[in-house]
Amino acid sequence: MILEILNQLEANNSRNFKIELLTKNKDNELLKEVCYLANDPFTQFYQRKIPVYDQTYKTTFGIEWALGELKQLSDRTVTGNKAIDHLTYVLSSVLPDDAKVIERIIQKDLKCGVSTSTINKVWPNLISEFPCMLCSGFEQKLVDKIKFPAIVQKKEDGMRFNAIVKNGTVEFRSRSGKEISLLGSLEQEFIELADHKDTVFDGELLVYDTVETDSNGKICDRQTGNGILNKAVKGTISKQEADRVFATLWDQIPYEDFIAGKCDQPYSYRFRQLKNLIYKLSKFKLRKLDLVETFEVDSLEQTQRIFQNYLDENQEGIILKDPNSLWENKRSKGQIKFKAELDCDLKVVSVIGGTGKYADMIGSLCCESADGLLKVYVGSGFTDEQRNAPPSDYYGKIISVKYNARIKNTNGEESLFLPIFLEVREDKEVADTSDKIK
């Protein structure tokens, strides 16, 4: 029954249809629980890989029993090999259709194009929002409000993440709250960095082209590095790949403040504390943990010179930060992005087959902003391997798109000029709204 509803949701791209179908089944407590377990960022099962299981013997348990048994994974009653054995037992003890639903819950993806906002539209406040402070795009009126001296930091081109250290354990999460599996890599570093305090570290994950920590390895380009980091979100990363991941940090927030959505400590204080912590752990600074490149600036002119220097080095840009700005679970007006190229994150609403040399491959992706006011077909920037991927690798996902300008198409609709595919954002669930796309 649950899988049948999920299949119906997957078969229709319309958000209105999805809302109507979920509303029709609003009183289905089992469906509600499935949506909650698969989407709540604070419920994790710590088992991204589905074990091999069989159902050759008579089934005796229903999906309600299986959902209850998953609690042993989420509260870590069982861990390691015992957790794998428990999940195998659960999957082997239910009907095949119910097992498919359990697999999707474990993987935190119901594979039906239903976002957290859609679920909360039907069941208000069912899914908690994972806290995340975002920077504002460049606007002169915001820059004019920055009081100097201020802070300028390099804008990294990797995957935004949080390292959540609590009770001596570490969880790595994406900006949307999805688990990032690094197979033990970086865990001990962050436990020591937290210095026995429950702390959330904010920064960017990047990937070196080698696992040798004493070599002069280079940082992988965005497509290569984020391709590996997307595997970490999917739970398919290898140990060798995980060992090439390192973290560049720019903030640390007390855990209680992070959950509450606001920290009253000014940024200058938080960053100084972070700097002191990393200094104490200088043995890790060489490769695995480091501070983002940071400058104190006395004027906008000095800020612009640093920005231009980074552009000359083919870097993405900078973030200008007000030293007195607070950490809040919203878009900050005290932290402003300076970027040369335009890019945005859009939702894939349909996949168009290719023609000619792209016959039997993906030709383009029909994408739109979160509010549906901007729509565009993205057909450039794909490798042959990406074009050969199954449509399910793109449908309902968020992708990053580079473009030259925002325009109106021949039908007078909001669109983009020369859109180019950059990557699938496995770490995001919500596209940009049209007002954030310049």
pLDDT tens digit sequence for 17-37: 999 999 999 999 999 999 999
- Domain stop point among 74, 100, 122: 122
Same domain, 288 and 173: yes
Please check whether residues 351 and 395 belong to one and the same domain.
yes
Q: Domain ends where: 101, 122, 143? A: 122
pLDDT at residue 212 in the model: 63
Mean pLDDT score, 158-180: 95
Q: Can you give the pLDDT at residue 232?
A: 95
Domain boundary among the residues 231, 261, 296 is at 296
**Has residue 368 been placed in a domain?**
yes
Within-domain flag for 273: yes
- Same domain, yes or no: 285 and 233: yes
One domain, residues 215 and 280: yes
Q: Are residues 350 and 272 in the same domain?
A: no
In a domain, 320, yes or no: no
The verdict on 6 and 102 lying in the same domain is: yes
Q: Are residues 161 and 285 in the same domain?
A: yes
* pLDDT above 80: residue 379: yes
Would you state the pLDDT for residue 174? 95
Same domain, 189 and 63: no
In a domain, 304, yes or no: no
**201 shares its domain with 257:** yes
pLDDT digits 0-9 by tens, 91-129: 999 999 999 999 999 999 999 989 888 999 999 999 998
Query: What share of the chain in percent tops pLDDT 70?
Result: 97
Q: Look up the CATH number of the domain holding residue 186.
A: 3.30.470.30
Looking up residue 395, the CATH number of its domain turns out to be: 2.40.50.140
Is residue 292 domain-shared with residue 415, that is, in the same domain?
A: no
pLDDT over threshold 70, residue 283 = no
Give the pLDDT band of residue 287 (cuts 50, 70, 90).
Answer: low
16 and 78 co-located in one domain? yes
| Residue 260 belongs to some domain of the structure | yes
Average pLDDT over residues 260-285: 88
Is position 332 within any domain? no
One domain for residues 162 and 108: no
Q: Which domain holds residue 198?
A: 154-296
Q: What's the per-residue H, E or C state across the chain? A: CHHHHHHHHHHCCCHHHHHHHHHHCCCCHHHHHHHHHHHCCCCCCCCCCCCCCCCCCCCCCCHHHHHHHCHHHHCCCCCHHHHHHHHHHHHHCCCHHHHHHHHHHHCCCCCCCCCHHHHHHHCCCCCCCCCCCEEECCCHHHHCCCCCCEEEEECCCCEEEEEEEECCEEEEEECCCCECCCCCCCHHHHHHHHCCCCEEEEEEEEEECCCCCCCCCCECCHHHHHHHHHHHHHCCCCHHHHCCEEEEEEEEEEHHHHHHCEECCCHHHHHHHHHHHHHHCHHHHCCCEEECCEEEECCHHHHHHHHHHHHHCCCCEEEEECCCCCEECCEEEEEEEEECCEEEEEEEEEEEEECHHHECCEEEEEEECCCCCEEEEECCCCCHHHHCCCHHHCCCCEEEEEECEEEECCCCCEEEECCEEEEECCCCCCCCCHHHCC
Average pLDDT over residues 301-305: 95
Is 322 inside any structural domain? no
The count of structural domains within the chain is: 3
pLDDT value of residue 411: 86
The model's pTM is 0.86
Average pLDDT, the chain: 92
Is residue 284 pLDDT above 60, yes or no? no
Residue 216: pLDDT band by 50, 70, 90 thresholds? low
User: What pLDDT score was predicted for residue 213?
Assistant: 52
Domain membership of residue 144 (yes or no) is: no
